[in-house]
Amino acid sequence: MPYQVRRDFVGYGATPPDPRWPNGARLAVNFVMNYEEGSEPSIQDGEGHTETGLSEAHGLNQVKSGRDLAAEGMFEYGSRVGFWRLMRLFQERNLPMTVFGCALALERNAEAAAAIRASGFDVCSHGWRWIKHFELSEEEEREHIRRAVASFQRTVGARPEGWYCRYGPSENTRRLVVEEGGFLYDSDYYGDELPFWVTVDGKGHLVVPYSLTNNDGKYAGWMGTSEQWFSFIRDAFDMLWAEGARTPKMMSVGLHMRLIGHPARAVGLARLLDHMMARKDVWICRRIDIARHWARAHPWQPRQRPSQMDREAFVEKFGGIYEHSPWIAERVWEGEMGAIHDTAAGLAARMAQVFRAASDEERLGVLLAHPDLAGKLAAAKRLTADSTAEQASAGLDSLTDAERAEFDRLNTAYVEKHGFPFIIAVRDHDKPGIMAAMRRRLDNDSATERAEAERQVSRIGALRLQQMLGDA
């Protein structure tokens, strides 16, 4: 199935993986300098307006038509002054960072490109232009990616291994990035604190999330002073560092030369860098270092995701989760499928919902499809593979003559009283526990027992899915 962008509200959930950062670091921190100045929309470059985003002019709109020379100057400050201040702050401390570079911007400042090339900082492609990729056609976007890669090879001497759009990608972006073939990761995602893999047209592709929260873009909004920014980002760092004793994470900090490059703001950045350097077990690193580490420590594992399977394949794989009742899998597939259904727990919950929503007759049919425990079908080896394995797990395939006689007696009495076979999730019990449950539940009224049998059917389904999908 071709790659489609799907929302995922689950992610790693309550049990994120251990990143195994180098030297046992609690927290990996990556600073990103966005180099955009000179690639933004402008009348000079054919757009019909002057860009004011993420600048002192943001929201002012003082020039209704024609060039806004004041806003242009604010962008030029970033490359003329702010860039060199940020470079100095990091190089004085011998700290690495990542440059999110717009290719055209670096072409227009050869001195800055040379400084980046000499610095050892990694460059992630911020596109050919600082524009909205979701407004481009697929062919236009493909050409922008191609031009950006070729440009970086000229200006910084190497192709970028990472990709990041302005504001947000199009629905085609990730597929086109993988199609291009030279990118290890993209950062077009804001929904996590750890990298994760996606499968794009059969290939593994790494997502290294970025942050607009831990970002100096707040200076273009409500934030006024360096102390406010410093305390805000410091608090995020301190919490992640404390949590890192149990669950290490990653932190991205976004910087813009025309914003935090101003003296009164840069002083807050200097305080932040010194604060972080004073803490132990912190890995301040480049973005490519995070991506390469994750690829080594947690390599892509190809797997077929239930939400991305076609109907035939889905029903074939999951049609037996509820005993001889493929209609449940069919209805699950026909409903809304998403990333949550790619986990054992999520798919089990959805199948249970379909089962509970079925008619009384349909639910009874599922109960009647279940074999007796240690009954004639088992003896004749005519059980499904799942039922065979389940009964064997509790030792029901190796009964004494006395035990078999007792199971036969209880099975017969149960069906005569309640009208359906005794059902229990045998993987939750041992042989004596199963027999005790049969004796106890035989005395229940049929309504109570029907409800319990249906609960057990759903539990069996959940256990089967856990066996099949694990924790994926």
**Domain residue extents for the chain:** 22-297, 306-469
**Do the Cβ atoms of 436 and 406 come closer than 8 Å?**
no
pLDDT in tens, 59-92: 666 666 789 899 999 999 999 999 999 999 999 9
Percent of all residues in the chain with a pLDDT value above 90, rounded to a whole number: 75
Q: Which band of pLDDT confidence, cut at 50, 70 and 90, is reported for residue 364?
A: very high
> What confidence score (pLDDT) does residue 431 get?
85
pLDDT over threshold 80, residue 2: no
b/e sequence 150-166, b meaning 16+ C-beta within 10 Å: ebbeebbeebbbbbbbb
pLDDT over threshold 50, residue 193: yes
Q: Which band of pLDDT confidence, cut at 50, 70 and 90, is reported for residue 380?
A: very low
**pLDDT mean over 317-335:** 95
pLDDT in tens, 396-452: 777 788 888 888 899 899 999 999 999 999 899 888 899 899 999 999 999 999 999
Catalytic pick from 144, 205, 256, 370? 370
**Do the Cβ atoms of 50 and 20 come closer than 8 Å?**
no
Decide if domain 22-297 falls under CATH 3.20.20.370.
yes
306-469: CATH topology is: UraD-like (1.10.3330)
Helix (H) / strand (E) element for 53: namely none
Q: Is 282 helix (H, G, I), strand (E, B) or coil?
A: strand
Helix (H) / strand (E) element for 29: namely strand 27-35
**pLDDT mean over 356-364:** 97
pLDDT over threshold 60, residue 108: yes
pLDDT over threshold 60, residue 41: yes
**Do the Cβ atoms of 250 and 187 come closer than 8 Å?**
no
Q: If you search the block for the tokens 């804001």, which residue do you land on? A: 190
Is 256 among the catalytic positions? no
Expressed in angstroms, the distance from the first to the final Cα of the chain is 19
pLDDT over threshold 90, residue 153: yes
Greatest mean pLDDT among 67-71, 208-212, 380-384:
208-212
